Amino acid sequence: MAVPKAIRSLKHCSAMRSTRSAFSTTAAARTTSVTLKALGLDSYNLGVYNGEWSGNGDIVETTNPATGEVLGAVQQASAKDLDHTLQCATRAAKMWREVPAPKRGEVVRQMRNALSEKIEPLGRLVSLEMGKILPEGIGEVQEYVDIADYAVGLSRMLNGKVIPSERPGHMMMEMWNPLGVVGVISAFNFPVAVYGWNSALSLVCGNAVVWKGAPTTSLTSVAVTKILAEVLEANNIPGALCSLVAGGADIGHKIAQDKRVNLVSFTGSTGVGRKVGLTVQERFGKSLLELGGNNAIIVHSDADIDLAVRSILFAAVGTAGQRCTTTRRLFLHEDIHDTFIERLQKAYGQIRVGNPLEPGVLCGPLHTKAAVAAFEQGIADVKAQGGSVIHGGNVLSHLAGNFVEPSITSITHNAPVVHREIFAPILHTIKFSNIAEAIEWNNEVGQGLSSSLFTTSPERIFNWIGPSGSDCGIVNVNIPTNGAEIGGAFGGEKETGGGRESGSTSWQQYMRRQTCTVNYSGSLPLAQGIKFE
């Protein structure tokens, strides 16, 4: 794509070109160039799509957090771009709702195949732009493919209920109809999958989708939208059905405010999510909130130690601690505490930290410099609040990117830093003496997303998943807190927002429920035996 003359004159775009030229002979630059080309991207890209590509907002560069390399630039949406896009999406939704659900599923099936064909370069772009290791980047695209498979099957099973009527000659049933326009505001840490969960289900439910991804992963948003747009074009379907409005907090706020957006699905921090929820509720819109997590694993004395150590390693260090389901608190029974800590420290010592595209690397960079600062503050707070760092605790400043050491602390369960979600690989370890105590500590934080118990005791297992057990939306036994499957509903309680995405009955959030009664009797009996004559 040729860069417009007006754009070439901007100083920061000139800086971008000079920065890129410094990397032009490196393997990193070659990898970036090949990846962008495979996905139809360039060094400058338009970030608004509603059947046509445009963009009149700020130009935002995205960088590789592992190297500092500028990957490219995306022209964001202006307020006028958003308004026009919502007009187009509203029209597309009115057309799409009349298409039979199985035929909507066929279009999603084609999207699934198109994504699968691009899974390697798209997964590589996720690694380049977000910073997660390549197997996780490819796995994230696979998650979109999987939810598309699920949505295709769902398109033939959007079932209501027939409800017994107390009145003779009457039939009562439940109908599910499309909402209209779904606005998706997704976060940087899953720049493909979270949109995929929402988009695939929204589409088979008969809605149009308007997407605002994170500004720091705008290239990924554009790449995914290009793939979907080709499928829509091939089927003579308005491109506005899968609209994109790249932008920052101002665009997100306008989406939350706009009555044309029937459902706002927001993934991000609890603080921002609280504002989004209030804004949407003020206009009586619907919101789906997937917010913070402060997840715990409890390891009892009878647990399979090898299984628990391997699980915690992935749960605490995967994606450099930047998952909402990352394990941040580890409760160890006093009988195994010392042995377990020794095993865990040894396992942490074998973790390779580095460029996420290199084979064998298990921990890539944090996404931004601000995240590195939050890591440093978290480590300082641990020490100030009576805890100690028993592994790691350092910023790896000798590396070019935003790298830190995966860290383990020893601290009390009620220290303020333990109750705060720090989006970095910091694992707080705490000793407990009985299961009731551990469950109480699991539940005492504000968040309620994911939790796990490692034990072989049926009594403890069923207590853990019962009414007096974990208060989280995801409650696991002998598996980590992360790595959720698409077949189950994903989401949490309390400050996690209460939303549910992906499987189970999550599709119902993208539709409006109607209770319908049909009188075929020719008479008018009233409910509850009321006589009005």
Q: Tell me: the pLDDT tens digits for 56-106?
A: 999 999 999 999 999 999 999 999 999 999 999 999 999 999 999 999 999
Q: What percent of the chain has pLDDT over 90?
A: 92
Residue 7, pLDDT above cutoff 70: no
Three-state SS string over 329-385 comes to EEEEECCCHHHHHHHHHHHHCCCCECCCCCCCCCECCCCCHHHHHHHHHHHHHHHHC
CB 264 within 8 A of CB 289: no
The arithmetic mean of pLDDT across residues 33-48, rounded, is 97
As a residue count, the chain comes to 533
CA–CA dist 351, 403 (Å, integer):
13
Confidence at residue 11, expressed as pLDDT on a 0 to 100 scale: 31
Exposure of 66 in the CB half-sphere (CA atoms within 13 A): 24
What pLDDT, on the 0 to 100 scale, is given for residue 532?
A: 87
pLDDT bin (cut points 50, 70, 90) of residue 52 is very high
The interaxial angle of helices 337-348 and 305-317, nearest 10 deg, is: 50
- Judged against a pLDDT cut of 60, whether residue 264 lies above it is answered with yes
Nearest CA to 314 out of 360, 367, 351 is that of 351
At 454 the pLDDT is 98
**Taking all residues of the chain, what is their mean pLDDT, rounded to a whole number?**
94
Which residues is 517 bridged to in the sheet?
172
Q: Is the pLDDT reported for residue 201 higher than 90?
A: yes
CA 486 to chain centre: 12
In this structure, which amino acid lies at residue 360?
Answer: G
Is the confidence at residue 1, as pLDDT, over 60?
A: no
Query: What pLDDT does 26 receive?
Result: 67
> Is 19's pLDDT higher than 60?
no
- Of 290, 405, 421, 495, the active-site residue reads 290
Q: What is the mean pLDDT of residues 217-244?
A: 98
437 is catalytic: no
Res 5: pLDDT: 38
Which pTM was predicted?
A: 0.93
**pLDDT score for 14:** 31
Shortest CA distance to 291 belongs to which of 144, 422, 447, 442?
447
